[in-house]
Amino acid sequence: MVKENEEQYWMLGFLGFMGFLGFTGFTANDPWQFFLFCNFGLLGFFTYKYPSKAIMAVALLGVAAGLIMGILGITGII
């Protein structure tokens, strides 16, 4: 098991948030990138159980919005 520390929680939350913002450079052409960053947010949520509600909220916001943006990208709406 990975040693728990605050940096891991923040990094996973940040990656989830990046999925929400689409700051990967590939999301405009590859909607699957949204799902990739959603998975980082989910990984942190289910593996580490975020100790802070703020971090958890950011990660879950990233997961939810990333899923929506990914679906819209695959269907060709965006």
- As for how many domains the chain has, the answer is 1
Does residue 19 fall inside a structural domain?
Answer: no
List per-residue pLDDT tens for the chain, 78 residues long: 455 666 666 666 666 666 555 555 545 556 666 666 667 666 666 666 666 777 677 777 777 777 777 777 767 665
Does residue 56 fall inside a structural domain?
Answer: yes
CB atoms within 10 A of CB 68: 14
Does residue 55 fall inside a structural domain?
Answer: yes
Does residue 40 fall inside a structural domain?
Answer: yes
Secondary structure element (H or E) that encloses residue 71, with its range: helix 53-75
Instruction: For 30-48, write each residue's pLDDT tens digit.
Output: 666 666 666 766 666 666 6
Nearest to 10 by CA among 63, 48, 67, 65: 48
What's the pTM value of the predicted model, to 2 decimals?
Answer: 0.46
Does residue 52 fall inside a structural domain?
Answer: yes
Does residue 64 fall inside a structural domain?
Answer: yes
Distance between CA atoms of 45 and 57, rounded to whole angstroms?
10
Does residue 57 fall inside a structural domain?
Answer: yes
Domain range for 50 is: 1-6+32-78
Does residue 27 fall inside a structural domain?
Answer: no
